[in-house]
């Protein structure tokens, strides 16, 4: 199950199968080759002072996985209380990251469809993590670039108690 | 000697590997003659052997590989083309190199009649000169070849026995039999490897010209010919990918954690069989952990091996005479740490030569031997590796260091005056400090001791320096054995556990109810703890993590030290200490600076490891309060931490916080008198008191008071209590002193927090008190 990310160029051309999931009614996909595994909700350790979209740390068979809530990351409204997110786990820049999503869809084959640039009208936060969009017959798949989705920057903590 | 032996050992392992590759390349080359890639690879292999053999003074090997290299470079550059003769000559060269290496392995020297080098050299030279009809190349000498086959093949039939301990070298071999005696020599495996090569030649259907210069090894002299199978250096070690080792370390870490989990569970069950099995698991896991950690351990000698050369070159360049002594070269530490240690260590050695040792004539003039001593020592001490670099040079001139530090703006003259000699010495670790009067080739290239310190601290180590002016300097570097598994203290806050590296831990303090009110005070919003007479800045973990603080009467304080900063971390609860496996955290969290990593607890939950230095920094602890707490660190530039107080009601005065070691309160009734001096009994001694207001020309505030507020000032080994009205604040500020208000006991005044404040001349006040402190 441990597949590593292919170089971007190759992926853009070769990726035809996508692991799909829903976040706030939006239909997203990550190239199947990038995904390590999909997990149910997992207990996690909260990281105080972490960037808002970092939901916590998961122990995945001894590996520390940073869980990023895609809703927060994309500036979407928070999940309803009591609704547990699912984990889409992948490797990004030599680290293991999990994206918290609402629900998991099928793995779909998109051969024959051409990846188009994300429409400029999409919110910046969403557009910034997308490779592009795939207009499928009955839906539009937003193709996520996992590396960019996982690029969350933390500012140094400064409490400055004595300043 | 043993170090040389080690270097040779490494050389042999490496060369054998190179030769194996070479064999493959040569065979491949026959398939695709003229492949520049293959030729380059062969060239590099031979070039490497040549270089090292020259360095190790194996002259015959060097001569041989030198001509071989010439031939290869011509082939590579296309000046010559591969022919069967060339291929043959090259193969012979490789075989002879191998024979020489075997000889070196058994005798520590490449001199000996058993291997004939000259004919091969001649053959190569002939090919180089374009002579296809190389003398001897066509002459087939089966006898020689048989000898080789015979010699090498014989041990194949022999069982491989344990390493032989008796000396195996004949008297006519010139050098050092001792190391050989303990070293395992050639083996079955090796012999088997060589034999087919030799046998292949006659079986070759192509009547290839077989050259004469077969490395003939005389059986009588051959140490391996005795039929004793020995493990050669090549077979006694295996090269393993470092990533594989790292992942093994990781997995063993997991195993250790799982074991801990099982141990916890088993304790609560009364099953003796399970208990015994767990006991075994416990034992095996511990040993496995130790073993795996050892695979990453390497002797510090690897770094030291380079030192003689560096020292020699530097001594030459700087006109110094140096006798280098190295002790404890087999002290082992984690390879990643070793790697990180290289730079700082080299720099310290350079420094010792450049700044420490004097030129010979100066030394003689001072009655020292002309030859300076530079000693490198390494040893284990309480779970750490200590590396000492000491010289018997001029030592650190603290006056000069102080003067330069002031000149370069590292500290102010005022700060310097109050510093202990030891503190002045450690100024050389401050950024922006370098005593080299001119930029020499050696040190003083802008990479100062501060970089050394930073690099060492980065790997969890520390460095300190002690020096006796005129007689030498010792630099002591302490580093942990390994970074992967560390002992840590677990603390609890808001239902989560956090790990604090034991290396940062100083002590645990618990302050209960009433005592809390007395020993914890808030200065301008910043809580401080009076701890054995010092003020310790407090940081709340709940505050640092922005979680809900727990309200209780008692306070649990973990006293921590990072770099020069010491502070107290208040936590909700302290659990226990545990060995934890440090795991990196993702890039999304690294930037926070307050976590050093994460680990997995016995129950499978992830816990964060606190970065103590980062916590201090996030609170700005290093700039202000710590100054008061430790007096070790002086605040930067002209910034001064001041204790602002009222000498009498409405009259503000300020004292440097550094000069104050404690704040105390005494009941007025406790004041006694000796002569005209007021005193109190304090900490098993007598504390003389000075009333600040009259001392600085003010009238003391009237009114009945039950308590006296006293600032305790330590002056050398004496203490004096300064009676004030009340403490107002602690401020960190840049003060502009004005002469207005200057009078006995007052240096002048300044505007502090928008109020004119007298700057107390503490020395004068103390002197005025006539206590003679």
pLDDT band per the 50, 70, 90 thresholds, residue B563: low
With residue A159 as reference, give the H or E element that holds it. Answer: none
- pLDDT given for residue B131 in this prediction: 64
Q: How far is A73 from chain B (nearest CA, A)?
A: 12
Task: Find, among B597, B615, B719, B585, the residue nearest to B659 by Cα.
Answer: B719
Candidate from B587, B593, B623 with C-beta closest to A95: B587
Residue B198 has pLDDT above 70, yes or no: no
Length of chain A: 163
Residue B141 has pLDDT above 50, yes or no: no
- pLDDT given for residue B179 in this prediction: 40
- Is B546's CB within 8 Å of A49's CB? yes
**A50: which chain B residues are within 8 Å (Cβ-Cβ)?**
588-589, 592
Residue of A nearest to B618 (CA): A158
- pLDDT given for residue A47 in this prediction: 92
- pLDDT given for residue B341 in this prediction: 85
What percent of chain B stands above pLDDT 90? 3
Candidate from A49, A59, A162 with C-beta closest to B621: A162
**A154: which chain B residues are within 8 Å (Cβ-Cβ)?**
588-592
- Is B608's CB within 8 Å of A57's CB? yes
Residue B450 has pLDDT above 80, yes or no: no
Give me the total of CB pairs closer than 8 Å, taking one residue from chain A and one from chain B: 119
Which pairing describes strands B718-724 and B685-691: parallel, antiparallel, or unpaired? parallel
Q: How far is A32 from chain B (nearest CA, A)?
A: 22
Residue B660 has pLDDT above 90, yes or no: no
Inter-residue contact B458 to B467 (CB < 8 Å) = no
Whole-number Å distance between alpha carbons of B503 and B66: 53
Tens-digit pLDDT profile for residues A124-141: 889 999 989 998 888 899
Residue B715 has pLDDT above 80, yes or no: no
Candidate from B250, B588, B607 with C-beta closest to A45: B607
**B546: which chain A residues are within 8 Å (Cβ-Cβ)?**
48-49
Candidate from A48, A58, A163 with C-beta closest to B606: A58
Residue B659 has pLDDT above 70, yes or no: yes
Inter-residue contact B76 to B36 (CB < 8 Å) = yes
Q: How far is A154 from chain B (nearest CA, A)?
A: 5
Task: Find, among B367, B17, B349, B410, the residue nearest to B190 by Cα.
Answer: B17
Whole-number Å distance between alpha carbons of B767 and B713: 13
Token pair of A67 as six digits: 């869980």
B440 or A15: which leads in pLDDT: A15
- Is B526's CB within 8 Å of A161's CB? yes
Instruction: Using an 8 Å CB-CB cutoff, list residues of chain A that contact chain B.
Output: 43-51, 54, 56-59, 62-64, 66, 68, 93, 95-97, 150-163
Mutate to test the interface with A, among B497, B565, B567, B587 (most CBs of A within 10 A): B587
Task: Find, among B510, B492, B622, B620, the residue nearest to B549 by Cα.
Answer: B492
Token pair of B412 as six digits: 């102010």
B438 or B76: which leads in pLDDT: B76
Q: What is the ipTM of this complex?
A: 0.85
Whole-number Å distance between alpha carbons of B421 and B410: 16
pLDDT band per the 50, 70, 90 thresholds, residue B191: very low
- Is B606's CB within 8 Å of A46's CB? no
Inter-residue contact B245 to B177 (CB < 8 Å) = no
Residue B91 has pLDDT above 50, yes or no: yes
Inter-residue contact B96 to B64 (CB < 8 Å) = yes
pLDDT band per the 50, 70, 90 thresholds, residue B682: confident
Q: How far is B279 from chain A (nearest CA, A)?
A: 23
- Is A160's CB within 8 Å of B620's CB? yes
Residue of B nearest to A63 (CA): B583
Q: How far is A90 from chain B (nearest CA, A)?
A: 13
Cα-based angle A28, A33, A39 (whole degrees, multiple of 5): 65
Residue B319 has pLDDT above 80, yes or no: yes
Query: Which range in A147-156, B236-245, B455-464 is most confidently predicted, on average pLDDT?
Result: A147-156
Cα separations in angstroms, B127 against B37, B38, B43, B120, B263: 21, 20, 16, 11, 72
- Is A49's CB within 8 Å of B545's CB? yes
Tens-digit pLDDT profile for residues B324-371: 888 888 888 887 788 888 888 888 888 888 888 888 888 888 888 888
- Is B606's CB within 8 Å of A64's CB? yes
Range of weakest confidence among A68-82, B118-132, B341-355: B118-132
- Is A62's CB within 8 Å of B600's CB? yes
**B499: which chain A residues are within 8 Å (Cβ-Cβ)?**
none
B733 or B327: which leads in pLDDT: B327
Residue of B nearest to A151 (CA): B588
Cα separations in angstroms, B736 against A162, B405, B628: 21, 22, 21
Candidate from A56, A64, A161 with C-beta closest to B620: A161
Residue B176 has pLDDT above 50, yes or no: no
- pLDDT given for residue B357 in this prediction: 85
**B584: which chain A residues are within 8 Å (Cβ-Cβ)?**
64, 95
Whole-number Å distance between alpha carbons of A101 and A21: 7
Mutate to test the interface with A, among B258, B496, B586 (most CBs of A within 10 A): B586
Q: At what angle do helices B188-203 and B84-107 cross, to 10 degrees?
A: 160
- pLDDT given for residue B580 in this prediction: 82
Which pairing describes strands B297-299 and B332-334: parallel, antiparallel, or unpaired? antiparallel
Residue of A nearest to B592 (CA): A156
What residues have CB less than 8 Å from B480, skipping those under 6 apart? B337, B383, B384, B385, B459, B460, B461, B486, B503
Tens-digit pLDDT profile for residues A24-53: 999 999 999 889 999 999 889 999 999 999
**A64: which chain B residues are within 8 Å (Cβ-Cβ)?**
583-586, 598, 600, 606
């Amino acid at each position: 199950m441990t597949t590593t990310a292919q170089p971007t160029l190759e992926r853009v051309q070769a990726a035809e199968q996508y692991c799909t999931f829903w976040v706030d009614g939006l239909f997203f996909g990550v190239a199947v080759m990038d995904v390590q595994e999909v997990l149910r909700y997992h207990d996690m350790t909260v990281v105080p002072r972490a960037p808002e979209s970092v939901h916590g740390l998961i122990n995945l068979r001894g590996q520390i996985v940073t869980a990023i809530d895609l809703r927060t990351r994309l500036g979407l409204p928070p999940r309803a209380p009591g609704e547990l997110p699912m984990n889409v786990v992948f490797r990004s820049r030599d680290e293991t990251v999990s994206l918290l999503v609402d629900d998991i869809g099928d793995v779909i084959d998109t051969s024959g469809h051409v990846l188009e640039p994300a429409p400029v009208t999409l919110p910046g936060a969403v557009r910034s993590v997308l490779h592009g969009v795939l207009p499928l017959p009955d839906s539009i798949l937003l193709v996520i670039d996992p590396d960019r989705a996982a690029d969350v920057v933390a500012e140094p903590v400064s409490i400055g108690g004595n300043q | 000697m043993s170090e040389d032996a080690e270097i040779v050992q490494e050389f042999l392992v490496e060369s054998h590997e190179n030769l194996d590759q070479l064999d493959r390349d040569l065979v491949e080359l026959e398939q695709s003659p003229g492949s520049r890639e293959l030729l380059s690879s062969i060239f590099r292999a031979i070039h490497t052997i040549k270089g090292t053999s020259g360095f190790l003074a194996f002259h015959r090997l060097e001569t041989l590989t030198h001509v071989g290299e010439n031939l290869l470079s011509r082939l590579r550059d296309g000046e010559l083309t591969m022919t069967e003769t060339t291929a043959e000559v090259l193969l012979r060269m490789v075989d002879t190199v191998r024979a020489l290496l075997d000889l070196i392995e058994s005798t520590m020297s490449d001199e000996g009649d058993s291997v004939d080098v000259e004919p091969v050299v001649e053959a190569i030279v002939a090919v180089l000169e374009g002579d296809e009809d190389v003398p001897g190349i066509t002459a087939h000498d089966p006898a020689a070849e048989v000898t080789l086959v015979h010699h090498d093949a014989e041990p194949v039939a022999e069982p491989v026995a344990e390493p032989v301990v008796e000396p195996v070298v004949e008297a006519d071999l010139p050098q050092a039999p001792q190391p050989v005696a303990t070293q395992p020599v050639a083996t079955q495996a090796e012999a088997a490897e060589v034999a087919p090569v030799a046998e292949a030649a006659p079986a070759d259907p192509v009547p290839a010209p077989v050259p004469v210069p077969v490395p003939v090894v005389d059986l009588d002299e051959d140490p391996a010919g005795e039929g004793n199978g020995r493990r050669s250096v090549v077979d006694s070690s295996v090269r393993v990918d470092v990533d594989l080792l790292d992942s093994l370390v990781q997995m063993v870490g997991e195993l250790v954690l799982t074991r801990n989990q099982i141990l916890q569970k088993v304790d609560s069950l009364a099953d003796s069989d399970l208990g015994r099995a767990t006991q075994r698991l416990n034992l095996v896991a511990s040993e496995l952990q130790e073993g795996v950690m050892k695979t990453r351990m390497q002797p510090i000698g690897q770094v030291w091996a380079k030192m003689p050369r560096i020292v020699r070159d530097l001594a030459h360049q700087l006109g110094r005479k140096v006798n280098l002594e190295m002790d404890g070269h087999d002290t082992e530490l984690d390879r990643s740490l070793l790697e990180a240690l290289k730079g700082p260590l080299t720099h310290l050695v350079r420094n010792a030569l450049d700044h420490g040792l004097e030129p010979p004539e100066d030394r003689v003039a001072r009655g020292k031997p002309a030859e300076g001593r530079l000693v490198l020592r390494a040893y284990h001490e309480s779970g750490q590796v200590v590396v000492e670099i000491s010289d018997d040079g001029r030592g650190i001139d603290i006056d000069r260091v102080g003067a330069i530090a002031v000149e370069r703006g590292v500290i102010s003259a005022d700060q310097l005056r109050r510093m202990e000699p030891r503190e002045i010495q450690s100024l050389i670790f401050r950024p922006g400090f370098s005593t080299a009067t001119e930029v020499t080739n050696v040190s003083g290239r802008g990479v100062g001791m501060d970089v050394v310190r930073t690099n060492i601290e980065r790997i969890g180590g520390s460095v300190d320096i002690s020096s006796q002016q005129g007689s030498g300097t010792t630099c002591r570097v302490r580093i942990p054995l390994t970074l992967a598994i560390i002992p840590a203290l677990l603390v609890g806050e808001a239902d989560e556990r956090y790990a604090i590296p034991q290396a940062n831990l100083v002590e645990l303090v618990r302050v209960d109810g009433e005592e809390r009110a007395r020993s914890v005070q808030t200065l301008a919003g910043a809580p401080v703890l009076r701890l054995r007479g010092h003020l310790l800045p407090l940081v709340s973990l709940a505050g640092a993590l922005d979680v809900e603080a727990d309200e209780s009467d008692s306070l649990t304080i973990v006293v921590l030290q990072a770099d020069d900063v010491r502070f107290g971390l208040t936590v909700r609860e302290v659990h226990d200490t545990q060995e934890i496996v440090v795991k990196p955290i993702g890039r999304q969290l690294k930037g926070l600076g307050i976590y050093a990593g994460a680990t997995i607890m016995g129950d499978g939950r992830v816990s964060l490891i606190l970065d103590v230095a980062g916590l201090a920094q996030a609170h700005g602890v290093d700039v202000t309060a710590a100054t008061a707490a430790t007096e070790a660190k002086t605040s930067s530039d002209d910034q001064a931490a001041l204790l602002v107080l009222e000498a009498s009601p409405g009259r503000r005065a300020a004292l440097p916080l550094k000069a104050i070691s404690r704040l105390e309160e005494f009941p007025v009734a406790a004041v006694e008198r000796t002569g005209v001096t007021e005193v109190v009994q304090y900490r098993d001694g007598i504390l003389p008191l000075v009333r600040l207001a009259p001392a600085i020309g003010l009238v003391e505030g009237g009114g009945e008071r039950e308590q006296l507020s006293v600032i305790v000032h330590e002056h050398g080994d004496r203490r004096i209590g300064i009676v004030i009205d009340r403490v107002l604040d602690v401020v960190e500020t840049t003060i502009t002193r004005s002469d207005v208000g200057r009078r006995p006991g007052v240096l002048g005044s300044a505007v502090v927090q928008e109020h004119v404040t007298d700057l107390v001349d503490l020395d004068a006040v103390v002197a005025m008190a006539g206590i003679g402190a």
